[in-house]
Copies of this chain bind each other. A is one copy, B any other.
Amino acid sequence: MPVPTSPAEAAPVRVGLIGAGRIGVSHATLLARRVAGARLVAVADPRPGVAADVAESLGARAEEDPAAIFAADDVEAVVITASSTAHAELVVAAARAGKAVFCEKPMAMSAEDAARAVAAADEAGVSLQVGFNRRFDPGFAAAHDAIEAGRIGSVQLMRSLTRDPGLANPAGVPPWTIFTQTLIHDFDALLWLNPGANAVSVHATADALVAPEFKDAGLLDTAVVVIRFDNGAIATAEASFSAAYGYDVRGEVFGSGGMVTAGDGSTSTRHLLTADGDTVETSRSDTDLFAVAYTGELAAFCDAVRGGTEPVVTGRDAQRALAIALACIESVETGGTVDVKPVGA
């Protein structure tokens, strides 16, 4: 991982972060302590006292109202890690306030909201980057490089999976989360690893195998999706909300000339051999497995903001992944194969 090369004399990007939940705290900490091109100046969270805790320890000021972030003159860029349903609205508000935006996935929960968010950023002329973390994982990035370089020929079969280490509280999870929040990573990864191709149709199978008692409430915790692409490739995306062995993210792309795989869940090179066998540790969380990727995506965002270049992962990428997620929901509801709606130009 090369250290970013943007001119250091350029001042760090002054960032305000909205939403101090688990991933918000992680991103805030990385911005304050690992991303040289960023300076965390404010953290906002509507829950009383929540922003203060994290802001104080990181040398930033706390706000309860996100609007204070948008109004702040010393904030150039906003990192949105609020609850998913609020994302699109916050992107629009940030863009209208002239702030560059990094928005955690999903950028929006509907195609209309996604289009509004992208349009707002376009109109404001601000950078808009979405938090698809595979793009910045060294293994996935190397796989992408190999595919782009033609080392596996034309893509024919693909697989991407996300398995979470555990579902803390099924009661609080919105019904279609597995598609809009979990598999959305895989949908982006599959689009990215099949360069130039578009998703045509999906067939989704989903069930409540982890927490069957929440099935009636509409919570699906296990899903398998088959996606057809317009270059013929057939992809499988798979997710579970409860992997006993840790956070598991893997990708596999098979082509006419070979195969690349990425992701193995191990978190160090250590092997421990005992009477139980030869064991490597597996990751405990996304912030563990994607420590490098999370730092990298925030650094790349700051570089894009400061350098005036287009972000590596755009709002349009979010729209394309969302279109697959929405088709999956319809597929589960109808039991059939569903066309993926093209994202308007």
The answer to the question of A115 belonging to the interface, with a C-beta cut-off of 8 Å to chain B, is no
C-alpha gap A291/B141 in the complex (Å): 17
C-alpha gap A276/B234 in the complex (Å): 25
Contacting pair A226 B254 (CB below 8 A): no
C-alpha gap A279/B33 in the complex (Å): 35
C-alpha gap A242/B275 in the complex (Å): 12
C-alpha gap A264/B335 in the complex (Å): 34
> In the assembled complex, which residues on chain B have CB atoms less than 8 Å from the CB atom of A243?
254, 259
The digit string for A26-46, where 1 denotes a CB below 8 A from any CB of B, is 000110111011000000000
> In the assembled complex, which residues on chain B have CB atoms less than 8 Å from the CB atom of A277?
245, 272, 279-282
Of the candidates B223, B236, B261, the one whose C-beta lies within 8 Å of that of A224 is B236
The digit string for A130-152, where 1 denotes a CB below 8 A from any CB of B, is 00000001111111001000011
The answer to the question of A83 belonging to the interface, with a C-beta cut-off of 8 Å to chain B, is no
Contacting pair B222 A269 (CB below 8 A): no
Of chain B, the residue at the smallest CB distance from A10 is B59
Contacting pair B269 A262 (CB below 8 A): yes
Of chain B, the residue at the smallest CB distance from A209 is B156
Contacting pair B210 A156 (CB below 8 A): yes
Contacting pair B138 A256 (CB below 8 A): no
The digit string for A250-274, where 1 denotes a CB below 8 A from any CB of B, is 0000101111111111111111111
C-alpha gap A310/B30 in the complex (Å): 25
The answer to the question of A337 belonging to the interface, with a C-beta cut-off of 8 Å to chain B, is yes
A-B contact pairs, 12 of them (CB 8 A): A8-B32, A9-B59, A34-B36, A36-B36, A138-B270, A139-B269, A244-B259, A245-B275, A261-B270, A262-B268, A262-B270, A265-B278
Interface, chain A (partner B; CB < 8 A): 1, 3-4, 7-9, 29-30, 32-34, 36-37, 56-59, 137-143, 146, 151-154, 156-157, 159, 163, 203, 205, 207, 209-210, 222-224, 226, 228, 232-234, 236, 238, 240, 242-246, 248, 254, 256-282, 291, 335-337
